[in-house]
Structure 1
Amino acid sequence: MEKVISIRKIQIAGASLKKAFLSVVLVLLAVLGQAQQIEEYLIQAGENNPEVRANFQRYLANLERVPQVGSLPDPELSLGVFLQPMERLMGNQRADISIMQMFPWFGMLRTQKDEASLMANASYEQFRESKNQLFFEVKSTYYELHLLQKEIEITEDNLEILRTMERLALIRYRGGNIGGATSSASTAVRAAGSNVSSPRSSGMSMGQAGAGSSGAADRRDMGGSGGGMNEMGGGSSGGKLSDVLRLQIQIRSMESQLETLADKKRPLMFRFNKLLGTESTAEIQLEQDLSPRILAFNGESFIDSVMQDNPMLKMLEAEAEVFSKQEQMAKLDGRPMIGVGANYMVFSPRAEMGFPGGSGSMEYMPSGMGNNMIMPMVTLSLPIYRKKYKAAQSEARYNREAIQYQKENAENELLVQLEETIREIRDSERKVLLLDEQVELTQQALDLMVTAYANEGSSFEELLSVQRELLDYRLELISAIVNQHTAYAMLDMLVAKGIRE
């Protein structure tokens, strides 16, 4: 007997684990489906967005500066030709050719190349930051569109509830058979919420939420039985014309609200398509549902990712290193530059003139052989005006310190933003669970009140109040789910998730 009980317990535990595993798989498949749709739009935006492409071109331009500063300055060649030969002892000098190559102080070229490479790295991080911002804007706009679409669907569902209640109130006023109208109203109430992903549908309900759902299901079945009994009943009278009129007022207001929501869709689509770099009228594919998510890690586990991978911090770090290299360059600029070259003098033979020991005005000059001459040369610059070099060093040092303070401030702001994002995610998790239960309980209450109104004609004000509460809870639920996904998009931006090349 004990063995049978143990085997039964093992079977129940295995079934529970299997059910939990299937729930997790369904959640992952839903998240992956959403991620795939978003990923396609992110790739399209990254390839077509003009701002991102402009920043990438700046990065390529800065890369081309590296070979420009990593080489020696061009040598200088000078050529001089005498219009009248210059008579010298070696002959008549016809021309003078010199070439000179200047060499910066030791380490200058390497420092210049490092500075250009760091500037290219900073521009690359700026490109990543713009891409990071773009991805967040694409995601947040996508979720706004999803929220607007769901608001339209929820409002349409609520409009259908009001119309079925209007038919029910009109039949009661005329004294007709209310069985079919009551059934239609109950069906519309129960169908509300089917187009919104909830923790129950995604296997994410926890603790007492599951127990509440089970009890609510029992109460829903009881409400359904009441509706069935109502169908067998005959006509009922005693309805009020004011009930019909108040429902018609609500219907007109809901129809106007639908038109307002439809008008909000066009500018959102226009903005989304411009972020993607496509035509403003291009069709946008939205996911049918957004599944609620649970944050698997605490906030501290994301701090290292923010500090190490955030492109804004890496860009400021690269800029600080750039100014450090500029300070070294200013110091090396104050050192002498060395020049090495040669001077080549062209001579032609000169004939002997005068007589040795002769008298008269004409002196004796021996003949010149006209041999060309080459003279090695070394030059040295003298940076004696030290004030400008010291000022350049101070300028670079002040800029480096300013960037370091700016980086420290950016780190503080990112950490604060991270804490707020984690808090918003945790808050949305609790809110989604609460609102999901409130939607379900309000649906059941409204179903029961519709039946009570059909049978007794009482509590019409409460009926309208509960119907409005159901609409508000459903709108708050989808808003909480969308806010949760927007917060996750912000978290991805902070930790630079999915933007590495």
Structure 2
Amino acid sequence: MKKFLKIYHGSANFCSKERGCGSNQYQSISNIHKYLFLIVFMVIQIGASNAQILDNYIKEAVENNLGLQASFKQYQVSLEKVNQVSLDNPQLNIGIYTRPMELLMGNQRAEASIMQMFPWFGMLKTQKDEATLMAEAQYEAFREERNRLVFQVKDTYFQLLQLQHTIDITQENLEILKVLEELAIVRYQGGNTSGTVSSLSKVLGNSNPSSGATAQSDGMNMAGSSSSSAPMGQNTAGNGMNSMPSSSGKLTDVLRLQVQIKALESELSQLEVNKRPLVTKFNQLIGRERNEDVEIAAQENLTNINGWEEVYLDSILLNNPMLMMLEKESLAYRKQAEMAKLEGSPMLGAGLNYMVFSPRPESGMIGGMDGMEYMPSGMGNNMVMPMVSMTLPIYRKKYKSMQSEAILWMESSQKQKIELENLLATEFETISTSIKDSERKLKLLEEQIELMQQTLEISVTSYSSEGSSMEEIFSIQRELLDFKLEKLTTEIERQVAIARLESLIGI
């Protein structure tokens, strides 16, 4: 796995070493996007420096995810095709005569020839450039797969984060209801409610000194009123019929709170059950056992991207893997058109022909049959014959069709690239607007939560002195819970939007 990471990090430099295969415009674009990429990457790293837990999970996913490893293997396969560009193998022919061929220069016993064909000038370089560009396009496909994996890890992690924080908020709300239950019981029993009101202030986390003073003051008044009303309690004790309605109403508040507590406890149990499929999915993404525990941050630090909208958009248009893949495919198809044109040129061949002869013995008689049957002895020297050859590509229709095909593919890639740029720009505007709306909404929700907490504390203090009803407290408590859950949902939606934005950049 370490070897995989080493190759994975080193492969990013492959394209820069092979830039000779592209155009000058392609080189200038690459130089520009390197610096812009570094700027954006530093900004994102600053915003994500506190998300160490998530960073570790992303690193683990990149190391262990089998799908990503398979995609990287495909990139390595495409790299090997660059090394496969070479001359055709030379052709060797050997022939041995079963009976010597009697020739004037001797008896020919065998013949051997070797021939090497050479493509037209520039053909090998063009083929290597085309294979290199296709390998670079495959690398961009690998980057896209990696970015998709990173986004899935982030999205699933944020879902777990939202679920865990929902559990925390529900648990806090449960504690509030338990304090209210204690308050209702104390009030039903006619005891001192100042301590219970103080406990509620701690649960709400209200650090406003004036609120605390008010609660303490109200508690003191409650204590005074309780002590001063003791004689009234004694008087009403003698008349049970007069005190029954009030006690019955307070007991109803207790029972209603207990019903709410039971409902929240059941909801907490269901939320814990809902975590299991998410944990399984998350472990599968990072390549671990499905039942392993997942560490969730206690508090999520929001990534800040304010003021970098233009940089993000420019970086997307220069670094998006799919755009880069289409750009390199377009250049590769241009090379294929050049290859088709070169294939229509003749191929040249050079070789040698070696003929093996043996001396011929003298035979026949001089003068016999006018000397026609006489064959002198001698000769038998081996012969070497240089040879050249050339193909004749006279069927031009095939090569013109191949060239037109490559040009059409190139034009198709260029149009796809333009279409994708428009779609990415639209998606960027949508995501950017969503992030800005989330930020405005978060600011509003924070103010609303603070006000609702103060309202709840005041209502509870008023309830302790019989100035408000439990129904009013229930309504405020539900609104406070809704605001907290809505704030959590908005924060998670913002983080997911930023994660999507980062995946478009192609980090």
Alignment gaps of 5+ in structure 2: 1-43, 230-242
Structure 1 position 137 matched with structure 2 position 156: no
Q: Quote the sequence identity (%).
A: 50
| Post-superposition offset of 1:342 | 1.0
Q: Paired residue for 2:132?
A: 117
Aligned mates of 2:124, 2:209 — CA distance in 1: 78
Alignment gaps of 5+ in structure 1: 1-27, 195-215
Q: Paired residue for 2:107?
A: 92
Q: Spell out, residue by residue over 1:304-323, the C-alpha distance to the aligned partner (whole angstroms, 9 max, x if none).
A: 11111111111111111111
Q: Paired residue for 2:53?
A: 37
Structure 1 position 149 matched with structure 2 position 164: yes
Structure 1 position 287 matched with structure 2 position 300: no
Aligned mates of 2:76, 2:45 — CA distance in 1: 39
Q: Secondary structure at the match of 1:344?
A: strand
Q: Paired residue for 2:84?
A: 68
**Residue from 164, 171, 174 that aligns with 2:186:** 171
Q: Spell out, residue by residue over 1:427-484, the C-alpha distance to the aligned partner (whole angstroms, 9 max, x if none).
A: 1111111111111110000001011111116332221110000101111112222222
Q: Do 1:179 and 1:233's aligned partners in 2 also have CA atoms closer than 8 Å? A: no
**Residue from 222, 229, 234 that aligns with 1:230:** 222
Aligned mates of 2:302, 2:384 — CA distance in 1: 86
The correspondence of residues 116-265 of structure 1 with structure 2, limited to 5 A, is: 116-190=131-205, 218-219=210-211, 221-223=213-215, 225-227=217-219, 229-230=221-222, 233-234=225-226, 238-239=246-247, 240=249, 241-265=251-275
Residues 440 and 227 (structure 1), Cα distance of their counterparts in 2 relative to 1, 3 Å cut = farther
The correspondence of residues 234-383 of structure 1 with structure 2, limited to 5 A, is: 234=226, 238-239=246-247, 240=249, 241-359=251-369, 363-383=373-393
Q: Secondary structure at the match of 1:106?
A: coil
| Post-superposition offset of 1:31 | 5.2
Q: Paired residue for 1:431?
A: 441
4+ residue segments displaced more than 4 Å: 28-33, 216-221
Q: Secondary structure at the match of 1:234?
A: helix
Q: Spell out, residue by residue over 1:206-256, the C-alpha distance to the aligned partner (whole angstroms, 9 max, x if none).
A: xxxxxxxxxx76456534543454355527872513322322222222122
Root mean square deviation of aligned Cα: 2.4
Aligned mates of 2:506, 2:386 — CA distance in 1: 59
Q: Do 2:92 and 2:115's aligned partners in 1 also have CA atoms closer than 8 Å? A: yes
Q: TM-score, normalised by structure 2?
A: 0.82
In the comparison of the two structures, how many residue pairs are matched? 446
**Residue from 436, 451, 456 that aligns with 1:441:** 451
Aligned mates of 2:125, 2:223 — CA distance in 1: 91
Q: Do 1:295 and 1:426's aligned partners in 2 also have CA atoms closer than 8 Å? A: no
Q: Do 2:113 and 2:352's aligned partners in 1 also have CA atoms closer than 8 Å? A: yes
Structure 1 position 488 matched with structure 2 position 498: yes
Aligned mates of 2:151, 2:419 — CA distance in 1: 22
* Equivalent residue letter for 1:56: F
Q: Spell out, residue by residue over 1:313-339, the C-alpha distance to the aligned partner (whole angstroms, 9 max, x if none).
A: 111111111111111111111111111
Residues 223 and 301 (structure 1), Cα distance of their counterparts in 2 relative to 1, 3 Å cut = farther
Structure 1 position 422 matched with structure 2 position 432: yes
* Equivalent residue letter for 1:418: F
Structure 1 position 412 matched with structure 2 position 404: no
Q: Do 2:340 and 2:402's aligned partners in 1 also have CA atoms closer than 8 Å? A: yes
Q: TM-score, normalised by structure 1?
A: 0.83
Q: Secondary structure at the match of 2:381?
A: coil
Q: Do 2:173 and 2:481's aligned partners in 1 also have CA atoms closer than 8 Å? A: yes
Q: Do 1:183 and 1:228's aligned partners in 2 also have CA atoms closer than 8 Å? A: no
